[in-house]
Amino acid sequence: MIFQNGRVFSEGHFQNVDVRVVGERIAEIGENLERQEGEEAVCIRDCMLLPGFFDVHTHGRDGADFSDAPAKELVRIRNSYAACGVTSLLATTMTMEEEYSKNMMKRIREAIEAESDGARIWGINMEGPFLGPDKKGCHDPQYLKEPDIPFFEELDACAGGHIRLIDLDPTRKGAMDFIRAYAGKKKFSIAHTGADYKTANEAVDAGADHVTHLYNAMNGLHHREPGVIGMVNDRPVWAELICDGLHVHPSVIRMTFGALADKICIVSDSLSAAGLGDGVYSLGGLDVYVNGKRAALADGTLACSVSNVFEECKNVMAYGIPMEQAIAASTINPAKAMGLENEIGDIRRGLLADMLVVTSEFELKEVYIGGKKLSVL
């Protein structure tokens, strides 16, 4: 298969090149490639060819949540993700009762390992239970706990070793030892915490290199108490940013890209209501009330989003961020953050042919996963 006559986003910028796919991977990129005998040609004139988008923090969409849906439903929504341009994701969990959490991990493992033409699930983002009760957000406080190595080992065994990212509050007792115990084996994200600047830096020294939904569920930036936000500016870490226009004001999104563009991973933090309408939905055993684009608990606490990364990338561009930066924050940045830059996140020779054909108005036209066109779009 060869993609011809379009603009290709490769290695951080647009190029007027053709792209050849052989099997599941990109085989060749170059100007005016000749079509081979019997080769399928895809004309993308007046369109752009982008890497598939990668959401490292999503709890679900289209009526299914990774914390409580049966495995067959989790397999089903892999196609729903792909249909909105998200070809890769981390299945993100919530804080649940211990035995329930073990079963949850087993269900997600089944969904990860199942055959599917939809989005790839590259592992689990374990958000909870090692979070701070003072910054719990929409996590059930009765199940929050201090980092616990034996319990984590049980969870990861149930997940078949698929836990890739562990979110935790570095101020909790034993957090630093927990990070050091798995540094280099698992990824760690500073999350749901009132940590100060010093503690956040200590967590990075121990092995953390990621921050969960920057600005949300943490102390705000103060000129004498920079906290986690100030640490992100100073250290080589990745920072998730929810760009639905509600969790973070567009002005702050502009400011953040201005300072930290190379570190940002756009995430949806979506729940099962994404792609559906208003109503009452469940998230981690708690009721979430959706009205328009806002999802909140009964007490008004802002919960997850009903967005997706493709939609948020468009939001970011509408806020005035250059297209190249917005696309990178949706593709290569999260791929690098998860150590997957040699598999996905870019259009380069040898990478998986997970790609999007997008119109000049940035409307999604076609989705390819492993060189195969998605039929449900």
Q: How many secondary structure helices (H) and strands (E) does the chain include?
A: 10, 23
Interior angle at CA 333, CA 128 and CA 69, nearest 5: 35
Ramachandran assignment for 129, one of left (phi > 0), alpha (psi -120 to 50 degrees), beta (any other):
alpha
Task: Report the distance separating Cα 280 and Cα 272, nearest Å.
Answer: 10
Task: Report the distance separating Cα 331 and Cα 242, nearest Å.
Answer: 15
Q: Which residues pair with 282 in a beta bridge?
A: 287
DSSP 133: G
Task: Report the distance separating Cα 205 and Cα 203, nearest Å.
Answer: 5
356, 51 contact by CB (below 8 A): yes
- Among this protein's residues, is 269 annotated catalytic? yes
Please tell me which residue in 18, 167, 169, 269 is annotated as part of the active site. 269
Task: Report the distance separating Cα 80 and Cα 263, nearest Å.
Answer: 27
Residues marked as catalytic: 269
